[in-house]
Structure 1
Amino acid sequence: MAQLEDFAYQIRRLSLEMITCGHWGHPGGSLSLAEILAVLYFHVLRVDPQNPAWEERDRLILSKAHSSPALYASLALKGFFPIEDLYRYCQIGGIEGHTDMRRTRGIESSGGSLGMGLSIAVGLAWGLRKKEYTKTRVYCIVGDGESTSGNIWEAAMSASHYHLDNLITIMDYNKVMAKGFVWDEMAIEPVRLKWEAFGWDVIEIDGHDIQEINAAFYKARWVMPRGKPILIIAHTVKGRGIEETEFNYKWHTQHPTPEEADQMLRELSARYGKPIEGYSRLHK
């Protein structure tokens, strides 16, 4: 578990660094995903960086594709491409602000418009079941904000109709959208009851507790499949790890200056009990 905590720290650190380098990005929703992605990439997903097109691999669809920095950091740490590539984020010839499966190794679907990822995941899960890849799972990360859109619910209804128990969806329920709290923009509660009414099995967890996350994924993959898709509601904190960014909608879309990043990364190091390190590019 300590190693997974360390990966979560590195995902947060690299996300902040690349957003600062790229002068653009979504730090809040990237920071809230760190533990979830750490457990997925370093404990759960059946993927091979040396053979990214392996037919029977698990698939991860990031529907909330604006949180791409955390995904890119995870892929680089896993070995899909060099970590140095992260520092060309949102630069000409570098990796994109939103995911592009044609240009970046390890990306399973291109993203941009919110609400589309679950439909892609449903199609993949249905197709993989037709191929009788019984060990393969499709994971889809959706945001709480995009869950106000109708196409999410159309996909949820389809997954239930086709009994896609090889589909595991994770909601990053960090409570904050671009302009404020989710419930001020559009009420989505009672979340659990709505998904259950659509025919899904639901698990609720603390999305920053490594043990809870790991147990939920184990249960979803090996214990619960019984003809229903599975939703894991992960209660998270927008901007987790930095006091200034936590539950602060202003950091939904805002890149730190090098000086701000230096302070944030020093705070992050201290919070994780790491040697104090600031923004690596500031002092070069």
Structure 2
Amino acid sequence: MNVKELQKKAVEVRKGALDIIYRAGAGHIGGTLSSADVITALFYEIMRYDPKNPALADRDRFILSKGHCIEGYLYALADCGFFPKEELKTFCQFGTRLIGHPNRDVPGIEMNTGALGHGLSCGCGMAKAGKLDHKDYRVFVLMGDGEINEGSVWEAAMFAASHKLDNLYAILDRNRLQISGCTEDVLRLEPLKKKWQDFGFYVREVDGNNMQELLDAFAELDKVTGQPKLLFMNTVKGKGISFMENNPPWHHAIPNQEQYEKATAELAFQAKELK
């Protein structure tokens, strides 16, 4: 896909996530919308995988460490052919495998997440295994900025740098909001970029809602050897839906019919503008 096609797909991923959440009456929309662009870049352009063979040994691995922001991820998996799109209508319904967090019963999902702070540690294990097995796959781990309050993230960061895991791509969704409010009010994180650099990561900072910047950054990170990488994404929580953007209650608020229709109209306008 070219950049405009990927931008259109990102709008589609946002609309798919909105539909999933509205239909189920459950979900986490704010962080799903802020990370929709990187999900699109990864699954429609960057990553190597085969939806007909999800266990392909040489596939790139993706871990959604901020597991509550699953709706865009599920939409992308279904759209890419891992499971039927019709199944998305069962999200959070009784007996479904599409629960509110990643679940390995779903093809394309590498690990169960939702208890925050575990994804990078498991990503380190996958990346180290790739090194030991002389495989060239990459491991992408998407984290939330509120999530890195967890000490296990920093233990994993030390491990990754110590073992020179240059096949590990940590991705930080820096939207500056978490369930309790602004990240700097809950537990101060800054100077955050410098912290990751001091822990031994090669850090590339981007506008995480800019598709061209994302593609350029991944191309740069692919050339880095001898150290793990961090894609530091400055994003807008609720991106793409005006009344949700930078609005803390939309961490997990559910739109009513009027709000759903307004959001749908805004996304439809964005899609039309990209034609």
Shorter-chain TM-score: which interval? over 0.9
Aligned-partner SS, 1:79: coil
C-alpha offsets along residues 247-266 of structure 1, whole Å, 9 cap, x if unaligned?
Answer: 11101011112332122111
Trace 1:145-160 onto structure 2 (pairs within 5 A).
Answer: 145-160=146-161
Q: Provide the rounded CA distance (Å) in 1 between the counterparts of 2:244 and 2:43.
A: 25
Query: Unaligned regions of 5+ residues in structure 2, if any?
Result: none
Q: Provide the rounded CA distance (Å) in 2 between the counterparts of 1:122 and 1:144.
A: 19
Alignment correspondent of 1:96 = 99
1:23 aligns with 2:25: yes
For the 8 Å contact 1:21–1:88, the answer to whether it is kept is no
Q: Provide the rounded CA distance (Å) in 1 between the counterparts of 2:25 and 2:167.
A: 38
Q: Provide the rounded CA distance (Å) in 2 between the counterparts of 1:161 and 1:258.
A: 51
C-alpha offsets along residues 212-265 of structure 1, whole Å, 9 cap, x if unaligned?
Answer: 1001111112x112x100001011000001111101110101111233212211
Q: Provide the rounded CA distance (Å) in 2 between the counterparts of 1:2 and 1:191.
A: 31
Alignment correspondent of 1:193 = 194
* Paired AA for residue 208 in structure 2: G
Aligned-partner SS, 2:62: strand
Aligned-partner SS, 1:168: strand
CA drift at 1:272:
3.0
Query: Unaligned regions of 5+ residues in structure 1, if any?
Result: 276-284
Alignment correspondent of 1:127 = 129
Could you say if the C-alpha distance between residues 68 and 179 of structure 1 is closer, same or farther in structure 2, counting changes exceeding 3 Å? same
C-alpha offsets along residues 188-229 of structure 1, whole Å, 9 cap, x if unaligned?
Answer: 1111110111111100000011111001111112x112x100
CA drift at 1:39:
0.7
| 2:50 aligned residue (48, 51, 73) | 48
CA drift at 1:274:
6.2
Q: Provide the rounded CA distance (Å) in 1 between the counterparts of 2:126 and 2:72.
A: 23
Alignment correspondent of 2:251 = 252
* Paired AA for residue 164 in structure 1: L
* Aligned-residue RMSD, C-alpha: 1.2
For the 8 Å contact 2:11–2:270, the answer to whether it is kept is no
* Paired AA for residue 58 in structure 1: D
For the 8 Å contact 2:24–2:91, the answer to whether it is kept is yes
* Paired AA for residue 121 in structure 1: G
Alignment correspondent of 1:261 = 260
Segments ≥4 residues shifted beyond 6 Å: none
Q: Provide the rounded CA distance (Å) in 1 between the counterparts of 2:231 and 2:269.
A: 30
Identity %: 38
Aligned-partner SS, 1:66: coil
* Paired AA for residue 48 in structure 2: R
Aligned-partner SS, 1:170: strand
Alignment correspondent of 1:32 = 34
Normalising by structure 2, report the TM-score.
0.96
Alignment correspondent of 2:83 = 81
C-alpha offsets along residues 140-186 of structure 1, whole Å, 9 cap, x if unaligned?
Answer: 00110011111110100110111100000110111111121111111
Alignment correspondent of 2:13 = 11
CA drift at 1:44:
0.6
